[in-house]
Amino acid sequence: MAAAESLGMAAAGGKTYSFKVVLLGEGCVGKTSLVLRYCENKFNDKHITTLQASFLTKKLNITGKRVNLAIWDTAGQERFHALGPIYYRDSNGAILVYDVTDEDSFQKVKNWVKELRKMLGNEICLCIVGNKIDLEKERHVSVEEAEGYAESVGAKHYHTSAKLNKGIEELFLDLCKRMMETAQAEERSRGNGASHTSTARRGVQIVDDEPQTAMPAGGCCTSG
């Protein structure tokens, strides 16, 4: 909750948005390739100099607003499934990746969506991504099914191929725009509330000091 506030503050102050996006999906669906392709524009490259692909950042400029994107990779193995909530708390967006050739991985995505909606409600922007469309011939998840499902849970659906670099830029750009809208809507809903809360907070602090000093003469300066 503190993070959301600080993010709001940063957005209001320097016109810079900071978003946290988690990558969810079973192992071997290509989460890492996807994010490496996006941030480094590399795929299975022997010359990749990055030490790791589990935490990557990207700076964007969308309609004159600066956006800092922090992409958190998560361990996809089944035995780490229970750790999900630790990863995705306070995140602004989630990218749920499945392999179009793997029906099971799509089932996993459905589980994730249920869990995310239960834990974070509608504040989080969801993207369901069918990866490996270069293997179209071996497709096991139908386009209609996937897109229909995405719509039914209020998520956007994308088809990508990290190998051919297809659909990835669009995916992240769309997600950023949606997250900005959400953030702006939140700001608006708070409205002048933002200044209200801060003065209220200050007010609380003053009241806190009151019992100690106990006199109208009190104030934080007397101790200095």
Give me the amino acid identity at 28.
C
* DSSP-assigned letter for residue 156: E
Residue 59 binding other proteins, by CB under 8 A: no
Considering only the stretches 27-35, 152-160, 167-175, 179-187, report the one whose residues sit in contact with other proteins under the rule CB under 8 A: 27-35
Phi, psi of 101 (to 5 degrees): -90, 0
* Cβ-proximal residues to 90 (8 Å cutoff; 6+ apart), any chain: 3, 4, 20
Binding mask 60-99 for other proteins (x = CB under 8 A): --------x-x-xxxxxx-xx-xx--xx--x---------
- Nearest approach in angstroms of CB 86 to other proteins is 5
Residue 5 binding other proteins, by CB under 8 A: yes
Decide the pairing of beta strands 65-73 and 55-62: antiparallel
**What CA–CA distances, in Å, run from 101 to 28, 69, 128?**
11, 29, 15
Checking phi first, is residue 97 left (phi over 0); if not, alpha (psi -120 to 50) or beta?
Answer: beta
- Nearest approach in angstroms of CB 158 to other proteins is 20
Residue 214 binding other proteins, by CB under 8 A: no
- State which of positions 96-155 bind other proteins (CB under 8 A): none
* Cβ-proximal residues to 213 (8 Å cutoff; 6+ apart), any chain: 219, 222
* DSSP-assigned letter for residue 100: T
Considering only the stretches 16-24, 117-125, 148-156, 165-173, report the one whose residues sit in contact with other proteins under the rule CB under 8 A: 16-24
Give the binding site for other proteins (CB under 8 A): 2-3, 5-7, 9-10, 13-14, 16, 18, 20, 23, 27, 31-32, 36, 46, 48, 50-55, 57, 68, 70, 72-77, 79-80, 82-83, 86-87, 90, 198, 201-206, 209-210, 212, 216-224
